[in-house]
Amino acid sequence: MGRATAEMLARSGAKVAIFDLDDETGQATADAIGGDFHQVNVADHVAVVKGIEAAAARHDVARIVINCAGIAPSARIVDKAGSPHVPETFRRTVEINLIGTFNMMSSAAAAIIAARFEEEEAGVLINTASIAAFDGQVGQAAYASSKAGVAGLTLPAARDLAQHRIRVMAIAPGIFLTPMMAAFPQVVQDSLGAQVPHPQRLGKPFEFAELVRSIIQNPMLNGEVIRLDGAIRMAPR
């Protein structure tokens, strides 16, 4: 979804900077779209600030920021053998999914404010939540908690930044054909897609990117979490 969004923005004329830990994939994507790549751990506040400064030195201050980084480990709070959820797994999930989102959002907003843009709209920050924030399944305690945090961050962040003419939105995708999903057998993909009321299939990354485009173009979209899920409501498992 992040790559599809980067491609959409580049086609639309934006100067795109990609932040990722995977330097090989990140650089290849940047080369393909004519953007630039910065190896950044979003969970590290100092690394984020340095990345934002480096990107600004190449392309000026970013006014559109899309947060897509995330991990989704599966673990029950207490497993079948009676062992508790590993605290480090929970902590790492929150650090990347929630704190990483916050680091990018707060640092990017500070850079936008410092630039003193004079237009009616100074910038827009779009974060990625998940339907797991609302329909968390068995084994998703860490993931659902982190994504619920992203959803809960949306309105107060939009209110905090309104005086600076910066919008904050979040997208909560359903079951999408991501690289992780593509690794599953086709029969598993088909079974998951069949659970979606309509359209009865997995979501496509370009559909996420198209919602990003709509949010950017519509200045009245602010402080809201939009479910992009084909009307699915996840069962407990």
User: Which H helix or E strand runs over 228?
Assistant: strand 225-228
Per-residue pLDDT tens listing for the chain (237 residues): 999 999 999 999 999 999 999 999 999 999 999 999 999 999 999 999 999 999 999 999 999 999 999 999 999 999 999 999 999 999 999 999 999 999 999 999 999 999 999 999 999 999 999 999 999 999 999 999 999 999 999 999 999 999 999 999 999 999 999 887 887 789 988 988 999 999 999 999 999 999 999 999 999 999 999 999 999 999 998
Could you tell me which of 143, 104, 110 has the C-alpha nearest to residue 126? 104
Q: Dump the DSSP string for 148-206.
A: HHHHHHHHHHHHHHGGGTEEEEEEEE-SB--HHHHTS-HHHHHHHHTTSSSS-S-B-HH
Catalytic residue among 19, 102, 143, 176: 143
DSSP-derived pairing of the beta strands 123-128 and 166-173: parallel
pTM to 2 decimal places: 0.95
Question: pLDDT for 111-138, tens place per residue?
Answer: 999 999 999 999 999 999 999 999 999 9
Q: Dump the DSSP string for 89-117.
A: HHHHHHIIIIIHHHHHHHHHHHHHHHHT-
Distance between CA atoms of residues 57 and 189, nearest Å? 42
Residue extents of the structural domains in the chain: 53-228
The fold for domain 53-228 equals Rossmann fold (3.40.50)
Neighbours of 174 (CB within 10 A): 21
Give yes or no: 143 in active site.
Answer: yes
Query: Are the C-beta atoms of residues 66 and 2 closer than 8 Å to each other?
Result: yes
- CA dihedral (3, 5, 8, 14) in degrees, to 10, reads -100
Distance between CA atoms of residues 148 and 99, nearest Å? 12
Amino acid at 208: F
